[in-house]
A and B are shown apart, each in its own frame.
Chain A
């Protein structure tokens, strides 16, 4: 029918892109794909990467494995598997083909007293686990051992097993944890061991066809489906100068968004190809190593990739353009269907607060299958912006039916550059294609799913009054509304610019952020406001629709316990004997 649009003079015609956050939804990656759900020891549940609040010259990377560890799950408590390669992969250059840095962990187990059925008895520990850490800086061609015989603390069974000096180990769990924080020969601090699962999500709500229960609602309180479960964490604290591609310290950064300080991180688990079981109760492994689990951005394989492709996703690296085959799951995300009244929006009332822009600035429709910003393609207004084919190619505006290729896809696959239109609407005077206020630059265009972190961005202290678990969404809100930040387009350190999706802090509520992102909050942040904003008549772009999005939460907004103030940050594992209980569903 009609349409034609918006005007506003030549200015926009054109538009933009997006930004910040990203895509999918709900439960990080616990049992997220059929095959890996049957192999818990190799199941990579979460990856975190953040500048260390206890030492700002370092980055902490945490990869978690083994979901749903019942704290009292004896007599054979959970531990890292033997016969598995647990790896953390880091990229710091877009022009190399594979990993720039790889950490590989392998574990061994020994029984100190095989004559008992107890895990710990009389000072002896069974399934006692140690590890070797190897590091490669040439894409995995060669590895150097940087830590041998590393200690994995025992399970936190209870006071008799840990503290009791006669029947148990006669120590404290904190002492066991501390003595397992080790230093690699290449300088990294390393910890491998059980910990509270830092992730939080209302699993029951999310996966009952989107039956979300926001925090604070009085109808039905959300339940953290991971509350009181442990995981096994691999944590590394690495000097920024050891991660930066040219060995530079953070003080050498040109700005807090220096493009040379971006790293991409992902983790994986691999097993050998052939497993043989014997009639005497043994398992043997042989053959090539095959990747069975991987995780970069949270929730990708949980709630973006559909069932039919999940196992394949786990088997691939994010390199060699492997991930491009999955690009449509980001440019037309399934979750987008549930925030779109012309699709299944009405059938998912718990997401009522989240509606995707169908007529942003009167004309741009970002619902699945719609053109998004494609009508601007080739327009002179795009020249010199990130949307200019001459500069970035056709990734962002591939065709007239991939609307989220401008926001969700780059958040997951390339990172977001500090370029028009990916700057806050602050200072844009209504034209999203104008220069605005910088707030992110984690651009590392490898075209694959990684957790991307600009290491130059300052740390937001965890006790800062403006610290927010909404990460970059919160930074955007401050940059748009807080008079400390919205009076200028100058680059400033806005609190939470060091939050997801610029890296990921333990506190970040990635489920909420990703749902907000699917509903277009990143588009709004850069000036592609919601449909109820009418430039001529609306008093403010902070409309009811935007407020609904910003006040939406996916369920629990924080972990069920605290974090430690220093490395390895993850909290001690729940003690099986007497942890405080909390409903999980």
Chain B
């Protein structure tokens, strides 16, 4: 092991467990990219699939803060952008080993409307091509062409309605049909999704105003996800499956992942609103490996540069990890007193009576070159000077390696479990190995680590912190053997959708990883329990929001259906009285004994031939009951008597006017009811909490008005009745109006008491 490492790395190093920094993944995290939302890479996830443990899931999200109702031009992937997910699985090759490159194309199926979707047509309809490189980008092959991006989840009329919309059976059906299989075997999905990230943006960025009950600043926003589910054997550098792993921490199964977006160097606006012309080299404008790096580790001065830089050139930013800004706010000698939201988090200043990890302090530097570190990761002879570079870069032993190299399964990076009291440099219990020392920011995952079932009672959103706590305290695991501890497959060993990376990174900045390996907090007394009040403060801290605002899907693509813009029932407006066509001047229907007398008046009857009298019991299907011939003249009044109306239900009438040339028009519909109050009724009356309104007609609209005529509720009968909540209405008299097809069929008074 040591020899191998020595060979591979020559020098370097690493670190530990958890990690570092802080807050809001990477939504609008740098000035330039905040002005280019389509190319803004917000999050990256990599985890072993809980649905199929032979596979790894990679998810890269783009476009922050997508308003679910953000029409008429809903968000979608941009054209002229290369969206890429890059995987490094081999430290001995230069650059990335596998590259997935997505490019998108849009068409308008109906440019004559301002709606995004109308009459089965979709505008800004987006498709994609996926290309894959297995040689570091030297060449690419198309593995998916014409992949479908589902439309925005606008609402029921746009998605399900078969007349005005797409007529889909559901939005999820569109997701399912958009899942493609690449010719190289991967399952792929590109489309809108609930933004799975969660963070108290309002608290975090108010100069660290963290609070117990934070507000998820990305709640109810969507993003655009690129999801890949790929066999582990396709990612492992030698094509091995996990069955061939030497252990659950086999170093040969570590991958490093980052995602990016690139644009062409030159973009030229057209003067007539045509699409921009683009030319020149492709320039990386956004990238993301570990969450929150550019959000809360890199200072403003370098955020744009960070986005433009490849991970291979990350050493220039190392001091942001070795002396992180966030640590200033957990250090009472700096600004600790000014950030009460982080008061639970204090960094070790006197761990084991000797070691100070606050910014600018020595950390473990005093151990450098001592016999105690010989043979450990801290031995310069083995790892070089990365971990102990000087006497003022204390977090080069923990935060830096978490972000830049991954953490090897080597002393001191093993749990304190099994280590002699006060000797963190001794061998302890293994719990992580995602060591891939590329010296750049990647999300690193050891694919051999088993999946923690999402229903496991020990499943924890604290990822490796959760595993460390179990390994230190749970009798099932408090031995020095390598065991699978739940959540060893969690952040920062990869990143699951559930992982609360904001909390984990804040805990890491406050030194929780150091504590896990035996560099206890200042209040530890030799011989006492290492689970001191300070450690408990750290472990019970959270950043204010600990889970997503909705669930995840149990299987691919895991991210949840995007929030729908329009939620709830469709409002149906009051039908205007159907207009009388040009020559319909008047039409009435009145009871006359047990018959109905129809009177209608028309003007201009030159071309008029005859009138059909039509009757209906439901207001929609009409049958002819008689004919009246037209009379010459400019204005005529006609009378027709229906001698056999229904005495129970409602009688609907309309007149069909037919011209000599066969063209025709209809009158408005009139109605007559003989049934009176028997047709519609209400009980109980007087009422207290509710009424049931009954009608002999289905789909009767039942509207409740107060005594002043103010509309209190609108309801519709189903199977003859509807229950109407009256509990919130003040006591008094209400009018309940029954309407069918816009025609008033009855009014009842009801007393609420």
Tell me the A residues contacting B by CB distance below 8 Å.
1-5, 27, 30-35, 37-41, 68, 70-76, 78, 81, 111, 113-121, 126-127, 157-161, 164, 166-168, 203-214, 216-220, 223, 225, 271-283, 287-288, 290, 292, 302-316, 334, 341, 344, 347-355, 358-359, 362-363, 530-532, 534, 536-537, 543-545, 548, 552, 576-579, 581, 584-585
Cross-chain contact A220 with B203 (CB below 8 angstroms)? no
Within 8 A of A (CB), among B97-137: 108, 110-118, 123-124
Q: Which residue of B lies closest to A312 (CB)?
A: B273
Contact B566–A211 (Cβ < 8 Å): yes
> Nearest CB to that of A276 among chain B residues?
B266
A532 touches B579 (CB 8 A): yes
CB pair A115–B299 under 8 Å, yes or no, is: yes
Q: How far is the CA of A316 from the CA of B271 in the complex (A)?
A: 8
13 A–B pairs (Cβ distance < 8 Å), ordered by A: A115-B301, A118-B207, A208-B566, A209-B115, A219-B714, A280-B305, A307-B113, A307-B114, A344-B164, A352-B574, A359-B581, A585-B67, A585-B68
A531 touches B579 (CB 8 A): yes
What distance in Å separates the Cβ of A336 from its nearest Cβ neighbour in chain B?
Answer: 13
Q: Which residues on A sit within 8 Å (CB–CB) of B570?
A: 211, 219-220, 349-350
Contact between B325 and A210, CB atoms less than 8 A apart = no
Name A277's closest neighbour in chain B (CB-CB): B283
- Whether A70 pairs with B574 at a CB distance below 8 angstroms is no
Q: Are B108 and A307 in contact (CB under 8 A)?
A: yes
Judging by beta carbons under 8 Å apart, are A281 and B306 in contact?
yes
Of B155-163, B408-416, B454-462, the segment with at least 4 beta carbons within 8 Å of chain A is B155-163
Contact of B207 among A71, A168, A278, A316 (CB under 8 A): A168
Check B572–A349 contact: CB distance below 8 A: yes
The answer to whether B78 touches A1 (Cβ under 8 A) is no
Indicate if B24 sits at the interface (CB-CB under 8 A). yes
Beta-carbon nearest neighbor of A585 in chain B: B69
* B interface with A by C-beta (< 8 Å): 24, 27-32, 34-38, 65, 67-73, 75, 78, 108, 110-118, 123-124, 154-158, 161, 163-165, 201-209, 215, 217, 220, 263, 265-276, 280, 283-285, 295-301, 303-309, 325, 335, 338-339, 563-583, 585-586, 602-608, 657, 659, 661, 663, 665, 711-715
- A281 engages B32 (CB within 8 Å): yes
Say yes or no: A74-B164 contact (C-beta < 8 A), given A214-B573, A306-B113, A359-B581: no
In the docked arrangement, what's the CA distance between A315 and B276, Å?
12
What residue of chain B has the Cβ atom nearest to residue A538's Cβ?
A: B586
Closest 5 pairs (CB-CB, A-B): A308-B111, A208-B155, A158-B206, A74-B205, A207-B71
- Bound state CA distance, A350 and B37, in angstroms? 33
Among candidates A71, A204, A206, residue contacting B567 with C-beta atoms closer than 8 Å: A204
| CB nearest neighbor in A for B23 | A75
Chain B positions within 8 Å of A32 at CB level: 72-73
B576 contacts which chain A residues (CB < 8 A)?
A: 352-355, 530, 532, 544-545, 548
Give complex CA distance A212, B580 in Å: 26
Q: Which residue of A lies closest to B605 (CB)?
A: A2
- B659: contacting residue among A2, A37, A581, CB under 8 A: A2
Contacts of B325 in A (CB 8 A): 115-117
CB neighbours of A358 from chain B (8 A): 579, 581
Q: How far is it, in angstroms, between the C-alpha of A511 and the C-alpha of B279 when the chains are bound?
A: 41
Decide: A37 and B266 in contact? CB cutoff 8 A: no
Are B573 and A33 in contact, CB atoms less than 8 angstroms apart? Answer: no
Report the number of A-B residue pairs with Cβ-Cβ less than 8 Å. Answer: 400
A208, B205: Cβ atoms closer than 8 Å:
no
CA distance A64 to B68 in the complex (A): 22
How far, in whole Å, are A207 and B564 apart by their CA atoms in the complex? 12
For residue B32, which residues in chain A have a CB less than 8 angstroms away from its CB? 281-283
Q: Could you tell me if B268 and A274 are in contact, using CB atoms closer than 8 angstroms? A: yes
| Nearest residue, chain B, Cβ from A365 | B582
Closest residue on chain B to residue A84 by CB atoms: B35
Cα A2 to Cα B659 with chains together (Å): 8
Contact, CB under 8 Å: A70 / B65: yes
Smallest CB-CB separation from A355: which chain B residue?
A: B576
Q: Which residues of B contact A75 (CB under 8 A)?
A: 24, 28-29, 205, 295-296
Closest chain B CB from A276 CB (angstroms): 5
Quick one: which of B71, B284, B574, B605 contacts A27, CB cutoff 8 A? B71
Bound: A68/B68 CA distance, A: 11
Question: CB within 8 A of B34: which of A76, A280, A341?
Answer: A76
Q: In the bound complex, how far is the Cα of B270 from the Cα of A292, in angstroms?
A: 9
Residues of B within 8 A of A213 (CB): 571
Q: Of A38, A157, A161, A363, which one neighbours B78 at CB under 8 angstroms?
A: A38
Check B207–A161 contact: CB distance below 8 A: yes
Query: Is there contact, CB below 8 Å, between B70 and A68?
Result: yes
CB-based nearest B residue for A112 = B300
Of B31, B157, B585, the residue contacting A210 (CB under 8 A) is: B157
* CB closest chain-A residue, reference B201: A72
Contact B157 A211 (CB under 8 A): yes
Contact A205 B29, CB 8 Å, known A2-B607, A111-B300, A281-B304:
no
Which residues does chain B contribute within 8 Å of A73, judged by CB atoms? 27-28, 65, 201, 217
The residue in chain A whose Cβ has the minimal distance to the Cβ of B329 is: A167
Residue of A nearest to B328 (CB): A116
The answer on a CB contact under 8 Å between A307 and B603 is: no
CA distance in complex: A362, B582 (Å): 5
Question: CB distance B111 to A218 under 8 Å?
Answer: no
Contact indicator A305/B272 (Cβ below 8 Å): no
By CB atoms of chain A within 10 A, which of B115, B273, B276 has the most? B273
Complex CA gap A167/B339 in Å reads 8
Instruction: Report whether A111 and B118 are in contact in the complex, using a CB–CB cutoff of 8 Å.
Output: no
Q: B569 and A219: CB pair below 8 A?
A: yes
Of A115, A277, A281, A578, the residue contacting B305 (CB under 8 A) is A281
Given contacts A75-B295, A117-B295, 13 further A-B contacts (CB under 8 A): A68-B65, A68-B67, A115-B301, A116-B300, A127-B31, A217-B714, A279-B283, A279-B284, A314-B273, A349-B570, A352-B574, A353-B576, A358-B581
- Residues of chain A within 8 A of B565, CB atoms compared: 203-204, 207-208, 585
- The CA of A161 and the CA of B70, in the complex, are separated in Å by 30
Q: Is the CB of B608 within 8 A of A577?
A: no
Q: How far is the CA of A353 from the CA of B263 in the complex (A)?
A: 48
Q: Are A126 and B606 in contact (CB under 8 A)?
A: no
Within the complex, the shortest CB–CB distance from A335 to chain B, in Å, comes to 9
B29 contacts across to A, CB distance below 8 A = 75-76
Q: Which residue of A lies closest to B570 (CB)?
A: A211
Q: Which of A207, A220, A315 contacts B72 (CB 8 A)?
A: A207
Q: Closest approach, in angstroms, between the C-beta of B277 and any C-beta of chain A?
A: 10
Tell me the bound Cα distance from A149 to B574 in angstroms: 55
Given A1-B607, A2-B582, A38-B37, does the pair A576, B201 have CB atoms closer than 8 Å? yes
CA distance A287 to B268 in the complex (A): 9
Given contacts A126-B300, A350-B571, A531-B579, A167 and B161 within 8 Å (CB-CB) = no
Q: Are A347 and B163 in contact (CB under 8 A)?
A: yes
Distance in angstroms from B653 CB to nearest chain A CB is 17
CB <8 Å contact, B156 and A208: yes
Q: Which of A34, A37, A117, A273 contacts B268 (CB 8 A)?
A: A273
- Which residues of the partner chain B approach A552 to less than 8 Å between Cβ atoms? 573
Closest to B663 in A: A1
A76 CA to B304 CA, complexed, in Å: 12
Pick from B75, B164, B265: contact of A348, CB under 8 Å? B164
Quick one: which of A160, A273, A282 contacts B209, CB cutoff 8 A?
A160
| Identity of the chain B residue whose Cβ is nearest the Cβ of A221 in the assembled complex | B568
Name the distance in Å between B648's Cβ and chain A's nearest Cβ. 28
A218 and B713 contacting across the interface, CB-CB below 8 Å? yes
Q: Which residues of B contact A347 (CB under 8 A)?
A: 163-164
Point out the residues of chain B lying under 8 angstroms from A168, CB to CB: 207
User: Which A residues lie within 8 Å of B306 (CB)?
Assistant: 281
Q: Is B604's CB under 8 angstroms from A2's CB? A: yes
A residues within 8 A CB of B606?
A: 2, 4
| Least CB distance, B43 to chain A, in whole angstroms | 16
Q: Which residues of B contact A35 (CB under 8 A)?
A: 273, 275-276
- Chain B residues, CB < 8 A from A584: 67, 69, 220
Report chain B residues within 8 Å CB of A119: 205
Min CB–CB distance A502 → chain B (angstroms): 25
Bound CA span A4–B576, Å: 25
